Amino acid sequence: MRIDKALSLLASDYTRSHIQTLLENGSVTVNGKSVSKSFKLTPGDEIVFAPPEPTMPDIQPENIPLDIVYEDGDLLVVNKPRGMVVHPAPGNYDGTLVNALMYHCKDNLSGINGVIRPGIVHRIDKDTSGLLIVAKNDFSHEKLAFQIKEHSFKRQYMAVVHGSFKDESGVVDAPIGRSPNDRKKMCVTQKNSRNALSRYEVVERFDGFTLLRVTLETGRTHQIRVHMSYIGHPVAGDPVYGPKNGIKKLNGQCLHAGLIGFNHPRDGKYMEFESELPDYFTGFLKTLKKI
């Protein structure tokens, strides 16, 4: 196998074109020597992959209004609006939730995820609205991250999906990994994947659509969107995993993180918060015919 193809499988966070650039820059060696992107590997070859540390942009605090549902000395629960990016990334270094948090919290944010994602314990997509938790210190971050890892952190979403369901509830237990055909997409796959489990229940039925409550047992990238598409019920308005002739007026997926529950990192007390469905969500529901 060519070295660039092999590395694109082994280092799935990097695109093949990026890996080819790193090969040209000498950031990859095979058996101690720099090689070209077309170099053919043989059994027993030792690959050293040492990409340079990315240059971190200077992330600035911004006075952006936040819908804070709860706050204390250890954490915040924020109701993120649709359209807001959670943390800076190429092409989005301002106007993000992190920029707003840096202004509101000053230096009181955990540093575990680095300067790009201070305080961010878990994420939701740009066009997904709803609740997420932010850690103000490393102690809280570690405690909360452990709960997510051990599946004791409760996360429920409301979603409008295409089609109707025979049963009132169900489980999607299917591993998710990066798509081999499009590195920007995720998919259900057995290769280079991680286990993913979503539970869903029918809340209300409409002509051609169903309102679901989805509980995450794991938290993979785009998990609900990928799982719903996988079982033939893509999220309404999803421009990536939905039908090509999707609902353009929604301007993104009809998905809302409506409930989170966790044990407070300091005293262990269980806390639970809910967020009402936003206007874009309820407005779309009003256009649907109940059955």
The residues of the chain that CATH labels 3.10.290.10 are 3-49
How many other C-beta atoms lie within 10 A of the C-beta of residue 89? 13
CATH number of 152-291: 3.30.2350.10
Q: Which two tokens stand for residue 197?
A: 């489990």
| CA dihedral over 55, 61, 63, 69, signed as positive or negative | positive
Whole-number pLDDT of residue 270: 98
Whole-number pLDDT of residue 56: 57
Q: Which two tokens stand for residue 51?
A: 């990409």
- Antiparallel, parallel or unpaired: β 255-263 and 129-135: parallel
| CA dihedral over 66, 69, 74, 75, signed as positive or negative | negative
14, 112, 133, 181 from 55: Cα distances, Å: 16, 18, 27, 28
Whole-number pLDDT of residue 27: 87
Whole-number pLDDT of residue 162: 98
Tens place of pLDDT for every residue, the chain, 291 residues?
999 988 888 887 777 777 888 888 888 999 999 898 899 999 999 999 888 776 656 789 999 999 999 999 999 999 999 999 999 887 778 999 999 999 999 999 999 887 788 999 999 999 999 999 999 999 999 999 999 999 999 999 999 999 999 999 999 999 999 998 887 899 999 988 999 999 999 999 999 999 999 999 999 999 999 999 999 999 999 999 999 888 888 989 999 999 999 999 999 999 999 999 999 999 999 999 999
Place of tokens 């929604």: 250
CATH number of 3-49: 3.10.290.10
Report the distance separating Cα 60 and Cα 77, nearest Å: 21
4, 7, 50 from 1: Cα distances, Å: 9, 10, 20
Q: How many residues in total does the chain contain?
A: 291
Whole-number pLDDT of residue 16: 78
Place of tokens 């000395």: 73
Q: Tell me the CATH class for 54-150.
A: alpha beta
User: If you write DSSP's letter for every residue of the chain in order, what string do you get?
Assistant: -BHHHHHHHHSTTS-HHHHHHHHHTT-EEETTEE--TTPBP-TT--EEE-PPPPPPP----------EEEE-SSEEEEEEPTT--SS-BTTBSSSSHHHHHHHHHTT-S--TTTTTSTTBSS---TT-EEEEEEESSHHHHHHHHHHHHTT-SEEEEEEEEES--SSSEEEEE--EEE-SS-TT-EEE-SSSEE--EEEEEEEEEETTEEEEEEEESS--TTHHHHHHHHTT-PBTT-TTTS-TT--GGG-S--EEEEEEEEE-TTT--EEEEE-PPPHHHHHHHHTSPB-
Report the distance separating Cα 189 and Cα 174, nearest Å: 8
The residues of the chain that CATH labels 3.30.2350.10 are 54-150, 152-291
Encoded amino acid at 289, one letter: K
Widest CA span of the chain, in angstroms? 67
Whole-number pLDDT of residue 116: 81
Kindly list the catalytic residues.
125
